[in-house]
Amino acid sequence: MASTSVRDVALRAGVSVGTVSNVLNRPGKVSPSTIERVHAAIEALGFVRNDAARQLRAGRSHSIGMVVLDVSNPFFTDVARGAEDRAADEHLTVLLGNSDENADRENAYLDLFEEQRVHGVLISPVGDETVRLERLLRRGIPTVLVDRQTDDDRFSSVAVDDVAGGYLAVRHLLDTGRRRIVFVGGPESLAQVTDRLAGARTAVGETSDATLDVIETDALTVLQGRMAGERIRDLEPSDRPDAVFAANDLLAMGVLQALSMLGAVHVPEEIALIGYDDIDFASAAIVPLSSIRQPSALIGHTAVDLLVREAASPDGFVHEHVVFQPELVVRASTARRP
Ligand code: RIB
């Protein structure tokens, strides 16, 4: 059945469309008897003002709101795909928003999801949003933190141990004989970056003749990786590192592009390179990229599973903090020196 329009309500109530709009938006301008006639027509026709009102009438939305840091990063689209697969089991849909690592954009999506009274929220947070997420909770909207470790018992969370992942990456570089390592990643406001760097420092600290320098980037993108790679390429060969650990695969792809430009630097012979996430492009790169694999689809699937269980029994729900272990995937970009 086609949805009822404002015009249908106006005809039924014997008033103009403008009067119906006044009843809905500026009732102070309309006589009580007219308000009563219009509301009787709305009720009789089942008119719903907009999607949010329909969902309010239904009591709860059939959508899950999801905010990720960078929708152009295949890691997050893989997470979203896993979330969608689990949501479909519950006949729920996923509304995907991109914060672009920007707190204002993230808040705009959280406001929208609150207005829509979504079934729940999945968020890979830019910073510490617990005060804002607490407000959602008070509105009966549960939230699961994705790709963020926490011990906050108000929210469930699903993540990978990024400290262990950073350790694995640099331990592997050291085991292949590299000693002058550069970490490329940023901003350091992101927990994923600082955790991976912390693991890298631990691995280097175990090897007396190893060094670790940091090139902080403004974002975790191919462009930022290219800029970091150009800085490394432009160093005197004797001043260059012999290995790069990039905080994610997009950065690593950018570093690889810059180093390989015009055959300037040979990967891995002169500089080994390892990324993080193991997105599909990693294995297809011009020099297949070693990486630290995250079970991205499983992260999304697990997050929705936690969310639907909490939404079904909110009172006394015991929140869980799921932490997956990262996996080293070795490819050509870190092969031992000949
Ligand atoms: O966008 C931030 C990064 O953190 C992603 O590449 C992925 O590694 C996530 O864990």
Quick one: 317 and 287 in the same domain?
no
> Does some domain include residue 265?
yes
> Does some domain include residue 95?
yes
Quick one: 177 and 201 in the same domain?
yes
C-alpha–C-alpha distance, residues 170 and 213, integer Å: 12
CA of 98 to the centre of ligand 1 (A): 13
CA of 308 to the centre of ligand 1 (A): 24
Contacts of 80 (CB under 8 A, 6+ apart): 66, 68, 94, 96, 300
> Does some domain include residue 42?
yes
Q: How confident is the model at residue 49 (pLDDT cuts 50, 70, 90)?
A: low
Q: Which atom of ligand 1 is nearest the CA belonging to 162?
A: 10
**58 pLDDT above the threshold of 80:** no
Quick one: 175 and 282 in the same domain?
yes
> Does some domain include residue 54?
no
Stated pTM of the model:
0.81
Mutate to test the pocket of ligand 1, among 70, 73, 161 (most ligand atoms within 8 A of CB): 73
Q: Quote the pLDDT of residue 266.
A: 95
Q: Which atom of ligand 1 is nearest the CA belonging to 147?
A: 10
Q: What's the total number of domains in the chain?
A: 3
> Does some domain include residue 280?
yes
For residues 314 and 136, the model is more confident at 136
Find the CATH number of the domain harbouring 24: 1.10.260
Q: Quote the pLDDT of residue 2.
A: 58
Quick one: 249 and 263 in the same domain?
yes
CA of 210 to the centre of ligand 1 (A): 26
HSE of 327, CA atoms in CB hemisphere, 13 A: 9
Q: How confident is the model at residue 3 (pLDDT cuts 50, 70, 90)?
A: low
> Does some domain include residue 1?
no
List all residues whose CB is within 6 A of at least one atom of ligand 1.
Answer: 69-70, 73, 75, 147, 192, 220, 248, 276-277
Q: Quote the pLDDT of residue 53.
A: 47
Mutate to test the pocket of ligand 1, among 184, 192, 294, 329 (most ligand atoms within 8 A of CB): 192
C-alpha–C-alpha distance, residues 171 and 163, integer Å: 12
Quick one: 178 and 245 in the same domain?
yes
Give the pair of three-digit tokens for residue 166.
């950073």
Number of Cβ atoms within 10 Å of the Cβ of 134: 13
Find the CATH number of the domain harbouring 307: 3.40.50.2300
Quick one: 166 and 275 in the same domain?
yes
Quick one: 205 and 269 in the same domain?
yes
Quick one: 83 and 189 in the same domain?
no
> Does some domain include residue 172?
yes
Quick one: 179 and 277 in the same domain?
yes
Quick one: 173 and 264 in the same domain?
yes
The dihedral formed by the CA atoms of 212, 171, 279 and 66, expressed in degrees to the nearest 10:
-80
Quick one: 284 and 168 in the same domain?
yes
DSSP 3-state of 166: helix
CA of 169 to the centre of ligand 1 (A): 15
> Does some domain include residue 232?
yes
Quick one: 194 and 238 in the same domain?
yes
Of 48-57, 108-117, 135-144, 169-178, which range is least confident?
48-57
Q: Terminus-to-terminus CA distance in the chain, angstroms?
A: 71
For residues 16 and 4, the model is more confident at 16
Mutate to test the pocket of ligand 1, among 220, 278, 327 (most ligand atoms within 8 A of CB): 220
Q: Which atom of ligand 1 is nearest the CA belonging to 160?
A: 10
Element (H, E) at 12: helix 6-13
Residue 123: which domain range?
A: 61-160+296-324
Give the pair of three-digit tokens for residue 123.
């968020």
